[in-house]
Amino acid sequence: YEDLHTFELQAPTRVIEWARGNRVCVAGYGQSGGNEILQLLPPPTLQAKETQGLCPERDFKVECGGFSNRPVYSLKYVPDTSLLVTSGPPDSSLQVWQVSAEDSDVIKSVSAIPAEDGTGQPWARIATVSTRAPWVLHGSRLNNVQITEVESRKNVYMAASRNSEELSGLAFLDCNTLLLCCAKGQLCLADIRQPQRPLEAVSVPSAPCGERWCMGVGRGPQGSDSSSRPVACLSSGGHLTLTDIRKTSESMASAKCRVPSPSSGAEFLCISWAPALEGCLAISGFDGTVHVYDARSWDSSDREAEPIFVHKGHAFGRLGSSGSPPLVTTHAWHPQKPRTVLSAASDGSLHVWDWVQSCGKC
């Protein structure tokens, strides 16, 4: 490690979201209510570009907090507003919150975007984009993918699909193009300027069925258009595929990672591209580790890939109530520092780590 900080949250989180001003937001997912949404101010060590070892302040400060009765499974800030949106069981509705750190340190619940399909539906995945009016893209199945204007709660777009395939993720590729990832692995593209056109899968996984998939969309080279953003998909069986949106008929590259079969299903599977480190991505959710891979060396032979770094810190945490070791619930890259990653686990731990650059490579 170049650097390692370990923190303990009062309750475990399965979201880590970066906000304006390098704030980090985490939230609890307990089923019995009393969950806290915390906006944290990271210590100065994480603000500066260069890593300092000893520093006056090494602690996170709770800048503001709110209380949620529901478990928070997903959280996204709405860019250019002081709002954030959360979702979680027991339905696919969204909760809207106001963060006003200057006046008080309480995150207030302001409204909700209801779910039309009633309770019992899977929780909604959320995505926001910073080039538009305060919109939020959300949905739990292909047939309820929609964009809602957060403040007015007006529906702006509804995807044309009767398919009730469950979603595992969605993202704005640019302000007009959406990419949806189904739990079974299909990727669908949609253009919000053409809401009538039915959604169609542009990519179907070749790996065996029965696995659950999730996706991560990278930033792509500076100033390029949406189609050159790299898309990576991860399956619960450890398959990794890279897809080129332009040539979706063939997968660009694929690899297999050596991971144990996830014990709790694919609930916490997470894959993300490094924003400041070309070609690198991280995966987690199989156990108490986070793997970092350099995907530039991958080809289509589906070989087993070697991670360039494995963070094992969470595996040594507190055992769960059933005696099971902690599971990494989510991870997030630092937006500026190339090799800094934040990861959280089911025992409430929050780690910030940075690995030593091996000579030459990334």
Residues that bind other proteins (CB under 8 A): 4-10, 34, 36, 40, 43, 53-56, 58-67, 104-107, 350
* Least distance (Å) between residue 175 CB and other proteins: 35
**C-beta of 318 vs 361, nearer to other proteins:** 318
* Least distance (Å) between residue 60 CB and other proteins: 4
Structure tokens at 346: 């089911």
Beta bridge partners of 85: 76, 96
Structure tokens at 115: 């779910």
Beta bridge partners of 36: 67
**C-beta of 41 vs 257, nearer to other proteins:** 41
**C-beta of 40 vs 189, nearer to other proteins:** 40
**C-beta of 100 vs 119, nearer to other proteins:** 100
* Least distance (Å) between residue 331 CB and other proteins: 18
Q: What is the Cα–Cα distance from 42 to 23, expressed in whole angstroms?
A: 7
State whether residue 112 is helix, strand or coil. strand
Tokens 């906006």: give the residue.
39
* Least distance (Å) between residue 88 CB and other proteins: 19
- The answer to whether residues 122 and 141 touch, using CB atoms and an 8 Å cutoff, is yes
**C-beta of 33 vs 114, nearer to other proteins:** 33
- The vertex-84 CA angle with 78 and 90, nearest 5°, equals 125
State whether residue 359 is helix, strand or coil. coil
**C-beta of 56 vs 323, nearer to other proteins:** 56
Structure tokens at 334: 């630092």
* Least distance (Å) between residue 67 CB and other proteins: 7
**C-beta of 43 vs 262, nearer to other proteins:** 43
> Is beta strand 303-305 parallel, antiparallel or unpaired with respect to 253-257?
parallel
**C-beta of 175 vs 356, nearer to other proteins:** 356
**How would DSSP label each residue in 290-338?**
EEEEEGGG--TT-EEEPPSEEE-GGGGS---TTSPPP-EEEEEE-SSST
**C-beta of 10 vs 322, nearer to other proteins:** 10
Phi-psi region of 34 (alpha: psi -120 to 50; beta: other; left: phi over 0): left
* Least distance (Å) between residue 112 CB and other proteins: 20
* Least distance (Å) between residue 40 CB and other proteins: 7
DSSP 8-state assignment for residue 28: B
CB atoms within 10 A of CB 211: 19
- The vertex-338 CA angle with 332 and 341, nearest 5°, equals 30
* Least distance (Å) between residue 64 CB and other proteins: 6
> Is beta strand 270-273 parallel, antiparallel or unpaired with respect to 309-311?
unpaired
* Least distance (Å) between residue 52 CB and other proteins: 9
